[in-house]
Chains A and B, each alone.
Chain A
Amino acid sequence: MTNIVLVTNNSVVQEKFGEKLDVNHLPQATYLETLEVVRDKIHAGHKLLTHPLSGSVKPNDTPYKTIVISKAKGTLDYDGLGIIEESMASAQKFIAGRKTPQWTDKVKADFRLIDFTIISTAINSMDGKFIG
């Protein structure tokens, strides 16, 4: 699928998709910083393709997030902008609510897996379909 870009701070997504797809890997970015990068891309004309709050693991319950955007730029994706802004507000609310936990490596590996599987199923869903 050459018409999409994955924006992610999840190294498993880079590892599994890096060769086949265009992955914008931000290894040092926090959850919120990853959302901010996506917001900026939407302002630049990319289209939001997946929901930023995918998964029941809420912001500040997991450090990892992968979001898919279009590779091509076009007119402003107004609906997508609304969704990313609301998602960022939601993330800020949860982060303000409590201290970010110190997760063990095993737990972080589980979070990476869940983020990866959720985005994989979303990518399968869009394969061959119109995304413009």
Chain B
Amino acid sequence: MRLELGKIKITDVQPGEVTKVENGTLFVNKQELIDLAMKDDRIKGVKVEFARPGESVRIAPVKDVIEPRVKVSGTGAMFPGMINKVKTVGSGRTHALVGANVITCGKIVGFQEGIIDMSGPTAKYTPFSETFNVCIVIEPVDNLETHDYEQAARLAGLKIGALVGEAGRNVEPDEVVVYETKPIAEQTAQYPNLPKVGYIHMLQSQGLLHDTFYYGVDAKQMVPTFMYPTEIMDGAITSGNCVAPCDKVTTFHHLNNPVIEDLYKRHGKDLNFIGVILTNENVFLADKERSSDMVGKFVEFLGLDGVIITEEGYGNPDTDLMMNCKKSTEAGAKVVLITDEFPGRDGKSQSLADAVPEADTLVSCGNGNVIVEFPPMDKVIGTLDYVETMIGGYEGSLRKDGSIEAEIQIIIASTIANGYNTLSAKMY
């Protein structure tokens, strides 16, 4: 599968009569976005607001972040199975508005998703302080059941992401990157002397607000499967997870998976990137056994010399991580884990909820328990009402002047366990 990704660099976002991109500025017809979201009668009201890097703006609570993209050629369309037909994506040409994001916010449950500060000392912990954000604040109809609200907000975000992405269809990209993975026999033969490396991508799959979808299929219902890495760039995987802000994999992070990006950079140079094994993180222990056994089977069948494994979440997924590590090692591969840690505020307690002897090589995405200070911001998009019950927040976190003291895990993607962040850990 071969994909040309055309990157259109966005350097500003402004309101406009027509949603379009001109000389790097994304113009957004706010009403067009509102009308699209309001087609879902589960939604009572929608506000569209902009947040730009350096502004004194706080966005809370954040549900999902979606990079606007459009399929220019090749089969299928963005977010197949969710807002478009299920046809296989990942080939042809796709344009991305790089530097712009659609961010959905709104209360779903009392313990809210996290915070993005566009400036100040904590801005550096999230990539979205550096992007031009189109924030969609969604209000549900009264007494809407939680499942329905979650679904309505999720689909609104994807539809608006695709609508805004359309603005990039006929724009000449600033850069075109070509990604290609061949079918297994050809791929193995292309670089016969390079080690075969695979990426085991674990998808959050525990239930309401903890779900991920592959071509619209709930990851809880899947058994492990093989994915061409370029499929993810066209939105084959979308996020329905919004509980733990720091290591939630947003739809943006699926589209821009850093492990896939870096493996492609080295593909053909010092490794042969074979592809992606998708698996899940179910709560029923027998599901974990089944999925990790099948992951081991794939590692053996594909003849992988090495695998990188990433997870989403803490606790329950740590057991899947360790099972996948053990069985991949037994199947003959060297294994590197990438994940974040929760070793307590002093960093001295055990980082993960599970461990196996085979887990001897790990790259850390940082400690989610460290306390940080957030100064007050001039403007809040959304609400700060739920800061103290957000994960990372606590009683007394939110002060009267609007400043916040909280654990770093309250910041969107601050310790995301696929490495798309700036935190790590070193051994001395």
A contact residues vs B (CB 8 Å cutoff): 48-51, 53-58, 61-62, 68, 80, 83, 86-87, 89-90, 93-94, 96-99, 101-104, 106-111, 113-114, 117-122, 125-126, 129-131
Contacts and interface: CB of A to CB of B under 8 A. Distances in A.
B198 to A, nearest CB: 25
A58 B354 contact: no
B132 to A, nearest CB: 29
Interface stretch (B7-15, B75-83, B309-317, B419-427): B309-317
**6 tightest A-B contacts by CB?**
A53-B315, A107-B110, A56-B244, A110-B109, A118-B207, A56-B243
B286 A131 contact: yes
Given A121-B207, A125-B220, A62 B111 contact: yes
Interface stretch (B159-167, B170-178, B328-336, B344-352): B344-352
Nearest to B287: A125
Contact of B111 (A61, A99, A129): A61
A54 B353 contact: no
Interface centre among B147, B284, B319, B345 (most CB of A within 10 A): B284
A56 B109 contact: no
6 contacts: A53-B314, A53-B353, A55-B207, A56-B248, A89-B350, A102-B395
A90 B388 CA distance: 22
Contact of B389 (A90, A103, A113, A118): A103
A93 B369 CA distance: 11
A31 B206 CA distance: 19
Contacts of B342: 58, 93-94
B319 A93 contact: no
Nearest to A54: B283
A62 B391 CA distance: 10
B109 A122 contact: no
Nearest to A80: B285
B208 A114 contact: yes
A57 B391 contact: yes
Interface in B3-35: none
B111 A107 contact: yes
B243 A55 contact: yes
A86 B354 contact: yes
A94 B395 CA distance: 15
Contact of A121 (B110, B283, B391): B283
B210 interface: yes
Nearest to A90: B353
Please classify the interface of chain B as helix (H, G, I), strand (E, B), loop, or mixed, using the class held by over half of its residues: loop
A58 B285 contact: no
Given A51-B285, A97-B345, A122-B284, A58 B314 contact: yes
Given A87-B353, A125-B220, 15 more contacts: A51-B283, A53-B314, A53-B318, A54-B316, A57-B391, A62-B111, A80-B285, A87-B315, A93-B342, A108-B110, A114-B109, A114-B243, A118-B210, A122-B207, A122-B282
Contacts of B147: 117
Contact of A129 (B286, B288, B354): B286
Given A86-B354, A93-B344, A119 B283 contact: yes
B354 A114 contact: no
A90 B284 contact: no
Contacts of B111: 57, 61-62, 107, 110-111
B241 interface: yes
A51 B315 contact: yes
B207 A96 contact: no
A124 B284 CA distance: 9
B226 interface: no
B315 A90 contact: yes
Interface string B261-305: 000000000000000000000111111100000000000000000
A113 B146 contact: yes
A93 B350 CA distance: 8
B209 interface: yes
B322 to A, nearest CB: 10
A35 to B, nearest CB: 12
A90 B319 CA distance: 13
Contact of A125 (B284, B318, B344, B353): B284
A131 B284 CA distance: 10
A89 B394 CA distance: 21
Contacts of A68: 284
B350 A118 contact: no
B243 A57 contact: yes
B110 A101 contact: no
A55 B389 contact: no
